[in-house]
Structure 1
Amino acid sequence: MAARAGVSTATLYRRWSSKDDLVIAAAADYHETLDTQSDSGSLEGDLRAVLRAKAATLTGEGGRLMQALIGEATQNTALAEAPHRRLPHTGAPTGGGGGTAGGRPR
């Protein structure tokens, strides 16, 4: 990654204290590039659009990387907890009865 960015590894570790932190930050940046907002006029149309976008995420250019991250998260607690700490809230219900108010967690 350092070579691709044209910097030294020391430069990377000044910004991110560990490989986990770097991977989590990269995944968060990637997440921001995904557009799953849809308003087709129907719930069915919106769900189809979201599911197509998710399928493209797992089968497209970054799909193998995302699958590897998901697999690694089963063994790496920091990586598994990262979406709850770092990725933006989507407003989607998460279950567990907590609910949302105004698109934000209560």
Structure 2
Amino acid sequence: MTEQRSAPEPDPPAPPAAPGTSRPGGRTARTRAAVRDAVLTGLVEHGYPGLTVEYVAEHSGIHKTTLYRRWGNLEGLLVDALDLAGEDSWAPPDTGSLEGDLRALARTTAASFEDPAAAAAPTAFIAAAFQSKCAAEALNAFYAERFARCEAIVARAVSRRELDRRTDAAALVRAVVAPLFFGLFITREPVDGALADRSADAALAAARAGSFNSPASSA
């Protein structure tokens, strides 16, 4: 007689990922991406006051009960949308000199807002941060993580003896991009490559003068 073999038991299902947890590929990643896209589209079309869980459900194809269960509420959706945006592979420029790195960083920042379609989502999220504490905290965390990545610029400059090792990378990067964001969101002036270069050059001069040296390390 032929020996009967039982079918192997299937592996237990993986536990659901908590909001903000990165998981490469798979249905969970696709769900998060669809929800993120719906949140950003809603912010662009209606702004934060007009964004609803129902809108996200309709445009993501995810039932609203699932949205409430996994993200809690609208602000949970906002936070995770920006958290997911921060899980990219962006790295600061590496041109071989501090001047080149800062100019490239400034030009990249300016260029990211040149295309109105591409700029719509980040602009809407910044606007939402003025109306939602959770969105503001998420935006702060997003840029804090970006500044942390830019520590590589300062580390390379220190190794080339272009900067004091006490230079605060976050303060330097803020100085580079601040004039650009002022023009974009305060005075609503055109932001171009020339302004980007001036912003980078001014920040570079201040850094060389020690303006961004950490006070805690100055002793």
3-state secondary structure, aligned to 2:137: helix
| TM-score, normalised by the number of residues in structure 2 | 0.38
Amino acid at match of 2:130: T
* RMSD of aligned alpha carbons: 2.9
Structure 2, unmatched stretches of 5+, are 1-37, 39-56, 151-168, 172-213
| TM-score, normalised by the number of residues in structure 1 | 0.68
Structure 2 Cα separation of the partners of residues 28 and 85 of structure 1: 8
Q: What are the equivalent positions in structure 2 for 1:59-74 lying under 5 Å apart?
A: 59-60=114-115, 61-74=117-130
CA deviation vs aligned residue, 1:12-62 (integer Å, no higher than 9, x gap): 221111111111211121233362422110112111222233224334444
Structure 2 Cα separation of the partners of residues 73 and 59 of structure 1: 21
Q: What are the equivalent positions in structure 2 for 1:2-21 lying under 5 Å apart?
A: 2-21=57-76
CA deviation vs aligned residue, 1:68-92 (integer Å, no higher than 9, x gap): 1112212222211223456763425
Q: What are the equivalent positions in structure 2 for 1:6-85 lying under 5 Å apart?
A: 6-33=61-88, 35-60=90-115, 61-85=117-141
Change in CA separation of 1:41 and 1:86 when aligned onto 2, cut-off 3 Å: closer
Q: Percentage identity across aligned positions? A: 32
Structure 1 Cα separation of the partners of residues 78 and 131 of structure 2: 15
Amino acid at match of 1:20: E
Structure 2 Cα separation of the partners of residues 98 and 16 of structure 1: 40
Task: Using the TM superposition, give the Cα deviation of residue 6 of structure 1 relative to its aligned residue in structure 2, in angstroms.
Answer: 2.5
Is residue 35–residue 53 contact of structure 1 (8 Å, CA) maintained in 2?
Answer: no
3-state secondary structure, aligned to 1:39: coil
Is residue 129–residue 139 contact of structure 2 (8 Å, CA) maintained in 1?
Answer: no
The size of the alignment, in residue pairs, is 99
Is residue 82–residue 138 contact of structure 2 (8 Å, CA) maintained in 1?
Answer: no
Match of 1:102 in 2: none
